Amino acid sequence: MSPTFFYLLLLAIALPPSDASAHGLTLVPPEGIWYAWSFDPLVLLPLMLTHWLYGRGVLKLWRQAGVGRGIRRSEAACFLGGELTLVLALVWPFDALGGTLFSGHMVQHMLLMVVAPPLLVLGRPLAPVMWALPENWRPRAGAITRRLRPGRFLTRPSVATLVQGVALWAWHAPAPFQAAMFDDAIHTAEHMTFLGSAVLFWWSIVHAGRDGSHGYAAAAGWTLITVLHGGMLGALLTFASKPLYSAYGDAAALWGLTALEDQQLAGLIMWVPTGMVHLAAGVWLIGAWISAVGRRNKNITELL
């Protein structure tokens, strides 16, 4: 089945056309963190629908084939972890906190790009979603997904890396970043772009083996490029001599930080933990590449 189906499904369900309100000048002091909820039904209802679809499909599949068959327990746990990550990013606490702290906003973006997407992809959502549909709908739905050929192009490591890189750098330019803070439509587009481009990127990593050993090698190379350019952006924010996002003003003072210190913390969040996740993925791909080459050479030796 084409990964484009999952990409479109995720955009349609996890992030609806009207996302949570833009951050604006929402101020959340430390003592108010427990009340920093974003109860937007246009976020909560689609998240619950996503959980219902996946859960219904898994339960039907397990009743038919046995628990852990078709979808392993670990895969179901990954998808649940991805859903909980979206709750942290969009419901509590980071959506509201992002209006006070640039570093809180950066954590939200990290959750949307390097935590939720790989977990959702590892959850293998296509099969459960198909099983959740009425039985007479499944053949047609399967035929539609097979016709979505662009999905294979979009999930090539080179293409997915380029799409994600453009999204990352473009949205962290001061003008569009600050525009998203005050305009709901732009804010929605920002989050959809981050999540959608990250799904493409992580799909290309998880399914790198579809093109054999050279697929792992290509994905590893492009992942390491992501480490480099993401680290460059993080370093730019960390070592800037002045705050780059004037919309935050002195809001970080509520947390005992200056605007520059808040920006430096945000840069470190992008640079270190995000870079470590991408680096770990690159190392895994290199290991998978070496193993695949070893298996191929062994098969060639046996044939000789």
Which of the two residues, 25 and 216, has the higher pLDDT score?
216
The pLDDT score that the predictor gives to residue 105 is: 93
Backbone φ and ψ of 250, nearest 5° = -105, 25
CB-based burial, 96-133: b 16+ in 10 Å, e otherwise: bbbbbbbbbbbbbbbbbbbbbbbbbbbbbbbbbbbbbb
At 304, is the pLDDT very low, low, confident or very high (cuts 50, 70, 90)? low
What pTM, to 2 d.p., does this model score? Answer: 0.84
Which of the two residues, 139 and 300, has the higher pLDDT score?
139
In this prediction, residues 167-184 reach a mean pLDDT of 91
DSSP secondary structure string for all residues of 181-218: HH-HHHHHHHHHHHHHHHHHHHHHHHTGGGG-HHHHHH
What percent of the chain is modeled with pLDDT above 70?
A: 84
First to last CA, the chain: 36
Other Cβ atoms within 10 Å of 187 Cβ, number: 22
Find, among 281, 6, 279, 287, the residue nearest to 152 by Cα: 6
Which of the two residues, 70 and 228, has the higher pLDDT score?
228
In this prediction, residues 223-239 reach a mean pLDDT of 95
pLDDT tens profile 271-285: 999 999 999 999 999
At 212, is the pLDDT very low, low, confident or very high (cuts 50, 70, 90)? low
In this prediction, residues 68-77 reach a mean pLDDT of 91
Q: How far is CA 166 from CA 116, 171, 229, in A?
A: 19, 8, 10
In this prediction, residues 131-154 reach a mean pLDDT of 71
Whether the pLDDT of residue 2 is over 50: the answer is no
In this prediction, residues 23-29 reach a mean pLDDT of 72
CA distance 265 to 255: 12
In this prediction, residues 183-203 reach a mean pLDDT of 90
- Round the average pLDDT of the chain to a whole number and report it: 84
In this prediction, residues 257-268 reach a mean pLDDT of 95
Residue with structure tokens 């004037």?
Answer: 246
Contact of 221 with 156, CB cutoff 8 Å? no
